[in-house]
């Protein structure tokens, strides 16, 4: 049985939004550790989850790509795998030697020449001077830096930095390689050479985790994809299928709507005697095509009758993806004061992604309230064998018209 080289089990990482909050929480955590108390697991004032309850495993000869919008938690997750960040929850296990290409130029000494950096970094990889001598020509040829090899690295462009770093890091088989968008600064020809080198490393048994926004690069080298939104996994599977889910979730397939003037703007929150509570700290969890039930809290300054409610589902690109209409027979009578409403969706026809659930209330054609973020919804699709659209539509197919035997 082959054990994974990379394993992350329900890892989470939180950060403070300001230096003041960070200093206060760090001091309290330090004091707590001195008396044997573990740091608080829940969010505190000024904190947010950068990564929340993410699991992954990568075996020898396999590449996992992390994709998602900026701020989704991809780089934070990679830094936890690289031991730069300690998870606040969960565990990370790495088996074998680890090499990372996370920050451009991070591993190079700017005052040294390219040649000196080659010998220095190869020594860190465990190569002797004789082994480095044998690989020097190959490294220089791959990086295409023969003319600049004896210049200080501080004079290199970003592309030259990336070429030299990548050439050194991949000059020999490595157990685990972590890569974060360092290929983006290279030209197309260099990127293709890098992808060929990564596929060679896979064949030699390396385990790769690859962060990229380039669908072309991911499809060339990745065996599986993990789609992250707001630090949480929403889909995992074959790269082409997961990219489809990504584009659906951010509204990429409907990118022409705005130029046609058909993209509705999200209304502003308002209250005319009725108000709804905001989203809870933890988002609702759901799966496409499954039922969903949740609560809405409200406060009414007086009694309202024949109240019509409508829910709207807005994705992270600000696109209205779905709307619910409650039948007239289910119009509500809301008593004065605080109360709760129970919402039941028999079939959630949404694709994988993160959604804000807005709620609007009207009575007799008059607007009573609108809350743009009454709930936060995380729709996770565990199987991505096929791509869909913005929603899932249930259908019954027969061989004869209704009422006639099939």
The DSSP code sequence of 114-131 is HHHHHHHHHHHTT--HHH
Percent share of the chain, pLDDT over 70: 86
Q: Please tell me the predicted confidence (pLDDT) of residue 381.
A: 78
Q: Please tell me the predicted confidence (pLDDT) of residue 393.
A: 52
Give residue-wise pLDDT tens across range 9-68.
Answer: 999 999 888 777 777 777 777 777 777 777 666 777 788 889 999 999 999 999 999 999
Residue 385: band (very low, low, confident or very high) from pLDDT cuts 50, 70, 90:
low
Percent share of the chain, pLDDT over 90: 41
Q: Please tell me the predicted confidence (pLDDT) of residue 1.
A: 45
Give residue-wise pLDDT tens across range 292-351.
Answer: 999 999 999 999 999 999 999 998 778 888 888 777 677 889 999 999 998 888 888 888
Tell me the β-bridge partners of 236: 226
Residue 392: band (very low, low, confident or very high) from pLDDT cuts 50, 70, 90:
low
Q: Rounded mean pLDDT of 242-259?
A: 67
- Across 34-43, 92-101, 235-244, least confident range: 34-43
Q: Rounded to whole angstroms, how far apart are CA atoms 278 and 374?
A: 5
Q: Rounded mean pLDDT of 209-218?
A: 89
Q: Please tell me the predicted confidence (pLDDT) of residue 331.
A: 81
Please state which architecture CATH assigns to domain 270-379. Answer: Distorted Sandwich (2.70)
Q: How many CA atoms within 13 Å lie on the side-chain side of 229?
A: 26
Give residue-wise pLDDT tens across range 344-375.
Answer: 888 888 888 889 999 999 998 899 999 999 99
Q: Rounded mean pLDDT of 238-252?
A: 81
The domain covering 6-252 belongs, at the CATH homologous superfamily level, to P-loop containing nucleotide triphosphate hydrolases (3.40.50.300)
Q: Please tell me the predicted confidence (pLDDT) of residue 304.
A: 93
Q: CB within 8 A of 347, min separation 6: which ones?
A: 289, 290, 291, 392, 394
Contacts 24+ apart (CB under 8 A), 36-45: 39/88, 41/88, 41/89, 43/14, 43/281, 45/21
For the chain, the distance separating the N- and C-terminal CA atoms, rounded to the nearest angstrom, is 50
Q: Rounded mean pLDDT of 76-97?
A: 92
- 134 burial via Cβ count (<10 Å: 0-12, 13-18, 19+): exposed
- DSSP character for 147? G
- As annotated, the residues of the chain forming the CATH 2.70.50.60 domain(s) are 270-379
At residue 212's C-alpha, the angle toward residues 195 and 357, to 5°, is 150
- As annotated, the residues of the chain forming the CATH 3.40.50.300 domain(s) are 6-252
Check pLDDT > 70 for residue 203: yes
Measured over the CA atoms of residue 232, residue 234, residue 237 and residue 243, the dihedral's sign is negative
Instruction: Compute the CA torsion angle 81, 86, 87, 88 (nearest 10 deg).
Output: -170
Distance of CA 314 to the CA centre of its chain: 18
Q: Please tell me the predicted confidence (pLDDT) of residue 42.
A: 73
At residue 359's C-alpha, the angle toward residues 356 and 364, to 5°, is 160
Report phi then psi at 202, rounded to 5.
Answer: -60, -45
Q: Please, are residues 354 and 234 in contact by the beta-carbon 8 Å criterion?
A: yes
Q: CB within 8 A of 71, min separation 6: which ones?
A: 230
* Average pLDDT along the chain: 84
Q: CB within 8 A of 322, min separation 6: which ones?
A: 312, 313, 349, 350, 390, 391
The DSSP code sequence of 293-331 is EEEEEEEESS-EEEEEEEEEEEETTS-EEEEEE--GGG-
Q: Please tell me the predicted confidence (pLDDT) of residue 399.
A: 40
Predicted structure pTM score: 0.71
Q: Rounded mean pLDDT of 374-379?
A: 92
């Amino acid at each position: 049985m082959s054990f994974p080289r990379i394993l992350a089990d329900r890892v989470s990482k939180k950060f403070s939004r300001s230096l003041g909050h960070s200093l206060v929480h760090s001091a309290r955590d330090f004091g707590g550790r001195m008396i044997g108390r573990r740091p608080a697991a829940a969010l505190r004032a000024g904190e947010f989850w950068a990564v929340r309850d993410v699991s992954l495993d990568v075996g020898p000869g396999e590449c996992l790509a992390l994709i998602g919008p900026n701020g989704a938690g991809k780089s934070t997750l990679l830094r936890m795998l690289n031991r730069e960040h300690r998870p606040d929850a969960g565990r990370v296990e790495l088996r074998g030697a680890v090499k990372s290409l996370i920050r451009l130029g991070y591993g190079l000494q700017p005052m040294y020449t390219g040649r000196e950096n080659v010998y220095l970094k190869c020594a860190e990889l465990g190569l002797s001077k004789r082994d480095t001598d044998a690989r020097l020509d190959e490294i220089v040829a791959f990086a295409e830096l023969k003319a600049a090899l004896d210049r200080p690295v501080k004079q290199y462009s970003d592309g030259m930095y990336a070429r030299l770093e990548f050439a050194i890091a991949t000059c020999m088989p490595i157990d685990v390689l972590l890569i974060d968008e360092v290929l983006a600064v290279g030209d197309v020809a260099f990127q293709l050479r890098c992808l060929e080198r990564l596929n060679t490393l896979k064949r030699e048994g390396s385990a790769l985790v690859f962060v990229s926004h380039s669908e072309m690069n991911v499809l060339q080298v990745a065996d599986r994809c993990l789609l992250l939104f707001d630090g949480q996994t929403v889909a995992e599977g074959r790269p082409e299928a997961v990219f489809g889910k990504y584009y659906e979730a951010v509204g990429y397939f409907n990118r022409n709507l705005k130029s046609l003037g058909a993209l509705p703007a999200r209304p502003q929150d308002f209250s005319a005697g009725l108000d709804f509570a905001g989203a809870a700290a933890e988002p609702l969890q759901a799966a496409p095509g499954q039922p969903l039930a949740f609560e809405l809290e409200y406060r009414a300054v007086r009694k309202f009758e024949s109240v019509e409610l409508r829910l709207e589902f807005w994705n992270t690109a600000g696109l209205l993806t779905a709307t619910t209409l409650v039948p007239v027979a289910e119009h509500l009578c809301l008593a004065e004061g605080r109360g709760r409403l129970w919402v039941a969706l028999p079939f959630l026809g949404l694709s994988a992604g993160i959604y804000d659930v807005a709620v609007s209330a009207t009575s007799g054609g008059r607007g009573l309230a609108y809350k743009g973020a009454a709930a936060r919804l995380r729709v996770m699709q565990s199987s991505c064998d096929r791509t869909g659209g913005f929603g899932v539509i249930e259908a019954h197919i027969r061989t004869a018209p209704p009422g006639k035997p099939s």
